[in-house]
Chains A and B, each alone.
Chain A
Amino acid sequence: MQNRESNSLIGFEQLAVGYEFPSTSYQLSPQLISKYTEAVGAQSEEKSPVAGFVPPLAIAAYIMTAMTKTVSLPPGTIHASQELEFLKPVPIGTTISCTSKVAQKVQRGKLNLLMIQLEALDQDKGKVLSGKATLVLPAL
């Protein structure tokens, strides 16, 4: 896993609609994916119907992690919902570039809703995944 960006944190209150989180690249090496498949208890390579390809939820997890590592979210933040679209199979060994940006930020009573738009591109700039994550945060 390679994080090419700064680790400085942005405060939640500084986030505005349209804010783009620093992009992050991952080389989806066999070792990295093997670690992931062990963690999620996925089928071994020989038995999998999609052998040789990256589990699509792994890419989503890397984008989410890249995003949350750059922002300071208050305790009590909940991952409320997730939308994902898998656009093409990603062979193991591919390098992907992950981007995310604030699509919506709304305060409702004692809660804040933060909707993040997610996207991953392969090394040929082909979109491999897009989606939206909704986080619910306690109002500050």
Chain B
Amino acid sequence: MNQKTNSTIIVNQGDSLPTVVRQVTQRDINLYAEASGDFNPIHIDEAFAAKTPLGGTIAHGMLILTYASEMMTKAFGKSWLSGGKLAVRFKTPARPKDTITVKGKVESVQVKENSTLVTCSLEVSNQRGETVISGEASVQL
């Protein structure tokens, strides 16, 4: 049985994780720059960014990655904070006004002696169906 019960968490291979949907705004990006201290003009200076090959500002990759982390927190709670791992690639920049959807699926559940390792695939995409971030996350229950 590929199943793990950890008081409130029941996980099976093939389960979908709670989807997270967010709209990116320039305000979010500016707030993130303030909060993280990353003031790279490609994120916050629309006039500068318009002259680059990207043609406009883009969100910080780490901002978009927080939406994936939020999904893992919703799915696994505090276990995500102590034993969570992720490995991702940033594929396409997210831009202001993009609608970002984070989906995840349980790919494997490995029961060990003292814990269970749950490995999930992650897919972060925009409203055009382009992959923004892809990768894998795992958590010990």
Which positions in A face B, CB cutoff 8 Å? 1, 32, 35-36, 38-43, 48-50, 53, 55-58, 60-62, 64-66, 68-69, 75-76, 78-90
Contacts and interface: CB of A to CB of B under 8 A. Distances in A.
B86 A41 contact: no
B38 A57 contact: no
Contacts, number: 115
B90 A56 contact: no
Contacts of A66: 37
B89 A85 contact: no
Interface in B83-133: 83-90
B65 A35 contact: no
Contacts of B80: 50, 56, 86
Given A68-B38, A88-B82, 10 more contacts: A35-B31, A36-B35, A40-B66, A55-B66, A57-B62, A64-B38, A81-B88, A85-B85, A86-B84, A87-B83
A55 B80 CA distance: 10
B88 A87 contact: no
Contact of A65 (B38, B65, B86, B87): B38
B30 to A, nearest CB: 9
Contact of B31 (A38, A49, A88): A38
Nearest to B89: A81
A57 B84 CA distance: 11
Contacts of A68: 38, 40
Contact of B81 (A39, A56, A64, A83): A56
A135 to B, nearest CB: 10
A43 B73 CA distance: 11
Given A53-B81, A86-B80, A60 B62 contact: yes
Given A39-B31, A61-B36, A82-B65, A89 B81 contact: yes
Contacts of A43: 70
Nearest to B33: A39
Given A79-B90, A81-B90, A86-B84, A49 B73 contact: yes
A1 B65 contact: no
Given A39-B28, A82-B90, A86-B82, A49 B74 contact: yes
A82 B88 contact: yes
Chain B CB within 10 A, most for which of A43, A80, A84 = A84
A83 B90 contact: no
Interface string B37-52: 1101000000000001
